[in-house]
């Protein structure tokens, strides 16, 4: 079977799964009563939301109330306007996101989108992005997994907040040089080369990037730079989690 065929088949299987399988809690995977999409009552106390003080730029928790920015944003200033992450990147969410990403659990997207709506729905509406743009994955990864988790998440979120999703703007190419061979500065440049805008000029002025996890921000920053170079004025981001690893 060709890889294109394989990826199409995986997508169809995922669609069917979504149609026939009742929604489950993304953490314990128990079927939810009443067919509601959410994290179940037993798992809810196990997840940790972000508490103030948080970085004015990326939204990551910081330990010093006197500080405005986290160490990552201070060392490497960011060109996006602001980030709206929903939760801490800790267990049991960590494991759940691995399943969401690599093990065909694309149906978790709805629960996670709801967590973003609960924590930052108002902020996102206020930021007023014209579209949500999922951070793209390379075609070979897409073929292996059958879906891009960021795109599935963006679609759920867009449906809740009534914001369109555009997955045609950003594309991911292959990194020509392996990241591990490079120093920090070169890594960022290399990552920027990995994202391309399909159109030389993007028609949007204000957009919001969507990804599952935000760590140091190098991916979001690389996407921001590409979009700004193509004419976008303001870039925001939202993610399920934010954390150090």
Strand partners, 28: none
x/- letters, 8..27, toward Zn ion (CB under 5 A)? -----------------x-x
Tell which positions 57-86 bind Zn ion, by CB under 5 A.
Answer: 57-58, 60, 70, 73
CA distance 20 to 5: 23
CB of 25 to Zn ion, least distance (A): 3
Residue 40 binds to Zn ion (criterion: CB under 5 A): yes
CB of 54 to Zn ion, least distance (A): 8
CA distance 188 to 220: 11
Per-residue b/e over 107-126, b at no fewer than 16 CB within 10 Å? bbbbbbbbbbbebbbeebee
CA distance 157 to 109: 8
* Nearest to Zn ion of 25, 86 (CB atom): 25
Q: How many residues bind to Zn ion according to rule CB under 5 A?
A: 11
Residue 28 binds to Zn ion (criterion: CB under 5 A): yes
* Nearest to Zn ion of 42, 189 (CB atom): 42
Q: Which stretch binds Zn ion (CB under 5 A): 34-42, 130-138, 162-170, 187-195?
A: 34-42
Let me know: does 239 contact 214? Beta carbons within 8 Å: yes
CA distance 62 to 9: 44
Q: Which stretch binds Zn ion (CB under 5 A): 33-41, 111-119, 123-131, 149-157?
A: 33-41
Pick the binder of Zn ion from 47, 50, 55, 235 (CB under 5 A). Answer: 55
Inter-CA distances, 75 with 114, 133, 194, Å: 32, 26, 22
* Nearest to Zn ion of 120, 145 (CB atom): 120
Let me know: does 76 contact 225? Beta carbons within 8 Å: no
Report the interface residues with Zn ion, using CB under 5 A.
Answer: 25, 27-28, 40, 43, 55, 57-58, 60, 70, 73
């Amino acid at each position: 079977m060709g890889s294109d065929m394989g990826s199409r088949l995986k997508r169809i299987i995922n669609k069917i799964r979504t149609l026939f399988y009742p929604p489950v809690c993304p953490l314990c995977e128990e079927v939810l009563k009443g067919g509601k999409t959410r994290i179940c009552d037993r798992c809810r106390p196990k997840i940790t939301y972000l508490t103030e003080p948080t970085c004015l730029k990326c939204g990551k928790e910081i330990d010093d109330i006197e500080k405005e920015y986290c160490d990552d944003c201070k060392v490497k200033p960011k060109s996006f306007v602001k980030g709206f992450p929903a939760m801490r990147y800790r267990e049991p969410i960590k494991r759940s996101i691995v399943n969401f990403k690599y093990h065909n659990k694309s149906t978790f997207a709805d629960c996670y989108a709801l967590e973003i709506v609960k924590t930052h729905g108002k902020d996102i509406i206020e930021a007023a992005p014209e579209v949500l743009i999922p951070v793209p994955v390379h075609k070979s990864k897409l073929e292996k997994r059958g879906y891009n988790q960021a795109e599935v998440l963006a679609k759920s979120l867009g449906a809740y907040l009534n914001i369109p999703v555009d997955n045609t703007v950003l594309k991911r190419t292959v990194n020509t040089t392996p990241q591990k061979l490079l120093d920090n500065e070169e890594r960022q440049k290399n990552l920027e080369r990995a994202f391309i805008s399909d159109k030389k000029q993007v028609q949007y002025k204000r957009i919001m990037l969507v990804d599952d996890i935000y760590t140091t921000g190098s991916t979001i920053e690389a996407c921001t730079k590409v979009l700004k170079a193509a004419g976008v004025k303001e870039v925001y981001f939202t993610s399920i989690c934010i954390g150090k690893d």
